[in-house]
Structures are given as C-alpha cells and as structure tokens.
C-alpha cells in the first residue's frame, strides 16, 4: 500500500535522486526489519553499488546497524551481512484531538507504536491549547522513553475539514475551531515539523499500514467520529477525488426528516448518526432541552449506549436509526466501489455487538449479491486509539518523504 504517488527524480537533479534512493533503501529496511544489501538492491531496483554506498552512510549516521551474517543463504558464496534500522534513532508522534478525549501515540523509526495515551481534551483556546498539548506530548514521550530531541515529525488529526498544506484547521465545528493555526505553535514548542490532517485520513492510514486492511486492495475505512466519513482505497491507493472530499459519507441523504446539516442541506447521515446527533435526538425524545457545550470530560454518547443496553427504548431506537442510516449509505457505496473489506473505526468501538452486527448484516443484505459475497465488514482492531496510531504512522511517512513539500506554501 502506498500513500503517495511515487516521485520519479529526473536525471537533471542528482541531489534529489540521491535523496529518493536513500528513501527507497530506508523503506526496504523498515519493511523487512533485517535484510542484506543484495536483497535491498533486489527490492528497490537500485544497483548494488548505490545500495552499498547509501547503507554505508546510514551506518555512519547511526540510522542502521549490522547485526551479523545470515544463518543460511540461497546463493553460493559467503553468507550475507544483515542490516537493520536502529528503532530508536528517531521517533514520531500522532495526536488525535476529539471533542472529549485527546489520544497520543508514539512510534519508533521502524513504525512500531510503542506508547498510546489518552487524556481529556483541553479547553479549546488554541494558543493555550498548543502550549498545554506540547506539555502533554512531552510527558508521553517521557513515558515512551523517547528523547524529545529525537522527535522528527508530528501529525495532528482533527475531526473537521483541514487544509494540510498550510497546517491550519479550516473548519472544525466539533471543537469550536475556525481557521486556526495549530501546527505553528506546536512546531515552535517541540522543534519539529507538524502536519495537520483529517481524522479519517489518520484512521485509514492506521488500518492500511498496521490494521485490519493491511492486506486488502479495495477497502472502505469508515470513520465514526464527530463526523462520518470514509477513506476510499481503490487498487491499493487512497482515492482523494477531484477536490479532496471523496468519502464524505456523512452527507449522503438518508432521512426525509428536516434535520439541518452543517453542510446547509437536510437529512444527511451526519444529522442522525454522529455521536452528537445521537445524544441530541435521545435528549429530544426524553423531552430534555438541548445540551449546552460543557467542559465535562465524559462523552455523553457513552451514556446513550449504556442506556440502550439497560432497556431504555428511546436510546435503542435512536441507535438503531443511526445504524440504519449508516447501513443505507454504506450499501450504496458498496455497489459503487465493490470493496472486499469495510473497516469501521472510531466510535464504532462503543457500539454494542448486536448493533454492529445489525449494521454489517444490513450492508450485506442491501448491496448487490455479487458485491456482498466478496465483502467482509469488520471493526478496527485498535479501538479508540486507531486515529492516534494512524497519525503516528502518517508522521513517519511524512518524515520519510520530504516534509518541506507538505508544509511549504
Ligand atoms: Zn450534510
């Protein structure tokens, strides 16, 4: 699975070519964990001389190490020296800011997530938040045994529309944020590049690189967060669409009720199936006034789920309606894209098994039989930490590419 179009360096730019070749070698080391120089050459298509020179450079810089001779060799002659990446030569961090909880994951240089922590989401004044967030992240780095000086990249995942290039969050109503620069202050505090992405992108990266979708080619990663959206993987590549909003599942119309959506239309899936919509509708059915924004750290969505499990028929009905809407939108997507796998991430973790099963079965029942026959619908293996884990892996990917490409402009 590749996350970005491969760049083919032109012969006119030897420095760029060298840098790209170096990334190819690092990529091979990261994937194989231990590998000979000859195998790196085979895997990357680079000449043995180029590989030797780059590996020599990585050894000198402490990025890679030799670990001894291979115990057996398929070819005649001397057994090959194996090389591996030094896991601790650098670290990356993923931060996912949700309305109630903020989750942080630290990964090492070979993409092993070594620590995940969950804290209450801070009061949402951005200047102060960035400072406090930097403090929280430093604490988690300490818990992971990772030196701040070795932190090479941070990805912050937000539940909204994000302008990745500028590092500004464009519209994150769930957090009450408008066009706010979160990356700048964090970079200043932590001394490394920060990229802001949408939480769906982070969730999808986690599933594709280290989750349920790791071996799949055609996948829908459905993110049940503050808004509902999907990442589309088609033939092993993330599909972004003409204007980058492919997968806006939350704006599929699923109900005739005149429920106003943030997009300006009515009856969108987001109006019945986000945690906030579910909480609001549950309160309406109980005759309670609409909840004001509070500073409480407890997610009221969990109360609705618990009530449904304790025979509160309103809660059960609201969750069932949400599930029905999700299933309807997904069935249409399945017929259009014919995926082999749907991975549901985020808030789906909180859904009781019977509700999840009902959604999965509805999708299979409503899709074309041939599409349904090839399809599995599963939950993420990583629960609520999936976003932060994915953000950390995305950070590793960004650090490996030339990050200045992403944060410039
Ligand atoms: Zn909408």
The predicted-structure confidence for 188-201, as pLDDT tens digits, reads as follows 888 999 988 889 98
Residue 117's pLDDT is 96
Rounded to whole angstroms, the Cα distance separating 333 from 363 reads: 10
- For residue 385, give the nearest of 197, 124, 164, 202 by alpha carbon: 202
| Rounded distance from Cα 226 to ligand 1 centre (Å) | 13
| Rounded distance from Cα 24 to ligand 1 centre (Å) | 41
List CB contacts of 30: < 8 A, sequence separation 6 or more. 85, 109, 110, 111
Residue 125's pLDDT is 64
| Rounded distance from Cα 250 to ligand 1 centre (Å) | 6
| Rounded distance from Cα 329 to ligand 1 centre (Å) | 13
| Rounded distance from Cα 283 to ligand 1 centre (Å) | 21
| Rounded distance from Cα 296 to ligand 1 centre (Å) | 27
Q: What is the pLDDT of residues 66-100, one digit of tens each?
A: 999 987 655 567 788 999 999 999 999 999 998 88
List CB contacts of 252: < 8 A, sequence separation 6 or more. 268, 269, 328, 329, 332
Q: What percent of the chain has pLDDT over 70?
A: 88
Q: Based on the fold, state whether residues 320 and 237 are members of the same structural domain.
A: yes
| Rounded distance from Cα 1 to ligand 1 centre (Å) | 31
Give the pLDDT band (50/70/90) at residue 174: confident
Rounded to whole angstroms, the Cα distance separating 106 from 269 reads: 33
Whether 241 shows a pLDDT value over 90: the answer reads no
Q: Based on the fold, state whether residues 143 and 273 are members of the same structural domain.
A: no
Give the pLDDT band (50/70/90) at residue 404: very low
| Rounded distance from Cα 270 to ligand 1 centre (Å) | 6
Whether 146 shows a pLDDT value over 70: the answer reads yes
| Rounded distance from Cα 44 to ligand 1 centre (Å) | 45
Of 176-185, 196-205, 232-241, 288-297, the poorest mean pLDDT is in 288-297
Whether 205 shows a pLDDT value over 70: the answer reads yes
Q: Is residue 145 part of a domain?
A: yes
| Rounded distance from Cα 260 to ligand 1 centre (Å) | 8
List CB contacts of 50: < 8 A, sequence separation 6 or more. 21, 41
Residue 13's pLDDT is 77
- How many beta carbons lie within 10 A of that of residue 242, not counting itself? 6
Whether 163 shows a pLDDT value over 80: the answer reads no
Q: What is the pLDDT of residues 95-126, one digit of tens each?
A: 999 888 899 999 999 889 999 999 988 766 65
| Rounded distance from Cα 263 to ligand 1 centre (Å) | 4
List CB contacts of 341: < 8 A, sequence separation 6 or more. 212, 213, 216, 218, 219, 220, 375, 376, 377, 378
Residue for token pair 């590419």: 401
Give the pLDDT band (50/70/90) at residue 7: very low
Residue 30's pLDDT is 84
| Rounded distance from Cα 138 to ligand 1 centre (Å) | 38
Q: Alpha carbon 138 to chain centroid distance?
A: 21
Give the pLDDT band (50/70/90) at residue 402: very low
Residue 33's pLDDT is 84
CATH code, domain carrying 239: 3.30.420.40
| Rounded distance from Cα 160 to ligand 1 centre (Å) | 13
Q: Is 44 exposed, middle or buried (0-12, 13-18, 19+ CB in 10 A)?
A: middle
Whether 409 shows a pLDDT value over 50: the answer reads no
What mean pLDDT comes out for the span 331-339? 92
Instruction: Give buried/exposed letters for 101-119 (b at 16+ CB in 10 A, else e).
Output: bbbbbbbbbbbebbbbbeb
Report whether 207 contacts 219 (CB < 8 A): yes
Report whether 326 contacts 274 (CB < 8 A): no
Report whether 234 contacts 241 (CB < 8 A): no
| Rounded distance from Cα 81 to ligand 1 centre (Å) | 57
Residue 5's pLDDT is 41
Cα separation values, 239 from 105, 202, 217, 218, 243, Å: 25, 14, 12, 10, 11
Q: Based on the fold, state whether residues 301 and 169 are members of the same structural domain.
A: no
Q: Is residue 5 part of a domain?
A: no
| Rounded distance from Cα 248 to ligand 1 centre (Å) | 9
- How confident is the prediction for the chain on average, in pLDDT? 85
| Rounded distance from Cα 82 to ligand 1 centre (Å) | 54
Q: Based on the fold, state whether residues 327 and 369 are members of the same structural domain.
A: yes
Cα separation values, 302 from 6, 173, 217, 317, 387, Å: 42, 20, 33, 15, 19
| Rounded distance from Cα 372 to ligand 1 centre (Å) | 27
Q: Based on the fold, state whether residues 199 and 120 are members of the same structural domain.
A: yes
| Rounded distance from Cα 265 to ligand 1 centre (Å) | 5
Q: What is the domain count for the chain?
A: 3
Q: Based on the fold, state whether residues 221 and 255 are members of the same structural domain.
A: yes
What mean pLDDT comes out for the span 293-297? 54
Rounded to whole angstroms, the Cα distance separating 24 from 20 reads: 6
| Rounded distance from Cα 254 to ligand 1 centre (Å) | 10
Q: Based on the fold, state whether residues 331 and 219 are members of the same structural domain.
A: yes
Whether 185 shows a pLDDT value over 60: the answer reads yes
Adjacency order of strands within the sheet including 151-158: 113-120, 101-108, 91-97, 151-158, 194-198
| Rounded distance from Cα 251 to ligand 1 centre (Å) | 4
Residue 131's pLDDT is 81
Q: Based on the fold, state whether residues 327 and 392 are members of the same structural domain.
A: no
Rounded to whole angstroms, the Cα distance separating 277 from 267 reads: 12
| Rounded distance from Cα 258 to ligand 1 centre (Å) | 12
Give the pLDDT band (50/70/90) at residue 294: low
Cα separation values, 325 from 26, 240, 254, Å: 44, 23, 6
Q: Based on the fold, state whether residues 338 and 391 are members of the same structural domain.
A: no
| Rounded distance from Cα 169 to ligand 1 centre (Å) | 19
pTM summary value: 0.84
Rounded to whole angstroms, the Cα distance separating 29 from 326 reads: 40
Q: Is residue 137 part of a domain?
A: yes
The pair of structure tokens assigned to 218 is 């055609």
Range of the domain at 144: 89-203+387-407
Residue 398's pLDDT is 77
Q: Based on the fold, state whether residues 168 and 31 are members of the same structural domain.
A: no
Residue 4's pLDDT is 45
The pair of structure tokens assigned to 26 is 């690092």
Q: Is residue 21 part of a domain?
A: yes
The residue with greater pLDDT, 268 or 347, is 268
Q: What percent of the chain has pLDDT over 90?
A: 49
| Rounded distance from Cα 112 to ligand 1 centre (Å) | 37
| Rounded distance from Cα 335 to ligand 1 centre (Å) | 21
The residue with greater pLDDT, 276 or 299, is 276
Q: Based on the fold, state whether residues 61 and 97 are members of the same structural domain.
A: no
Give the pLDDT band (50/70/90) at residue 408: very low
What mean pLDDT comes out for the span 247-271? 91
**Pairing, β 180-181 against β 341-346:** unpaired
| Rounded distance from Cα 137 to ligand 1 centre (Å) | 34
| Rounded distance from Cα 182 to ligand 1 centre (Å) | 26
| Rounded distance from Cα 268 to ligand 1 centre (Å) | 5
| Rounded distance from Cα 315 to ligand 1 centre (Å) | 23
Residue 296's pLDDT is 56
Domain boundary among 53, 85, 117: 85
Residue 281's pLDDT is 93
Give the pLDDT band (50/70/90) at residue 318: very high
Rounded to whole angstroms, the Cα distance separating 279 from 318 reads: 9
| Rounded distance from Cα 274 to ligand 1 centre (Å) | 12
């Amino acid at each position: 699975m590749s996350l970005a179009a491969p760049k083919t360096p032109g012969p006119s730019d030897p420095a760029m070519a060298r840098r790209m070749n170096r990334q190819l070698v690092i990529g091979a080391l990261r994937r194989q964990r231990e590998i000979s120089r000859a195998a790196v050459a085979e895997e990357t298509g680079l000449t043995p001389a180029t590989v030797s020179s780059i590996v020599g450079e990585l050894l000198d810089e402490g990025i890679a190490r030799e670990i001894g001779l291979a115990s057996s060799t398929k070819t005649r002659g001397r057994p090959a020296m194996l090389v591996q990446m030094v896991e601790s030569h650098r670290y990356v961090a993923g931060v996912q800011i949700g309305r109630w909880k903020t989750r942080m994951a630290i990964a090492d240089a070979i993409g092993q997530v070594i620590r995940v922590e969950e804290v209450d989401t801070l009061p949402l004044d951005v200047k102060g938040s960035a400072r406090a967030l930097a403090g929280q992240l430093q604490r988690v780095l300490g818990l992971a045994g990772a030196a701040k000086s070795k932190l090479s990249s941070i990805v912050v995942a937000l539940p909204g529309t994000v302008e990745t290039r500028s590092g500004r969050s464009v519209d994150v109503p769930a957090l009450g944020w408008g066009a706010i620069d979160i990356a700048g202050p964090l970079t200043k505090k932590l001394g490394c590049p920060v990229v802001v992405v949408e939480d769906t992108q982070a969730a999808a990266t986690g599933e594709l690189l280290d989750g349920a979708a790791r071996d799949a080619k055609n996948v829908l990663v459905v993110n049940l967060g503050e808004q509902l959206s999907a990442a589309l993987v088609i033939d092993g590549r993330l599909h972004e669409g003409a204007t980058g909003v492919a997968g806006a599942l939350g704006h599929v119309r699923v109900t005739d009720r005149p429920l106003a959506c943030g997009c300006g239309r009515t009856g969108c899936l987001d109006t019945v199936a986000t945690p906030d919509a579910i909480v609001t509708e549950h309160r309406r059915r109980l005759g309670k006034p609409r909840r004001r924004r509070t500073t409480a750290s407890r997610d009221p969505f969990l109360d609705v789920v618990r009530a449904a499990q304790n025979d509160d028929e309103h809660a059960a009905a609201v969750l069932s309606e949400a599930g029905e809407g999700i299933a309807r939108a997904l069935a249409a997507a399945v017929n259009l894209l014919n995926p082999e796998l749907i991975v549901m991430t985020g808030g789906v973790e909180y859904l009781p098994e019977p509700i999840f099963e009902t959604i999965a079965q509805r999708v299979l029942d409503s899709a074309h039989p041939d599409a349904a026959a090839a399809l599995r619908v599963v939950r993420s293996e990583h629960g609520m930490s999936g976003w932060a884990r994915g953000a950390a892996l995305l950070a590793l990917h960004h650090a490996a590419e030339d990050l200045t490409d992403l944060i410039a402009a």
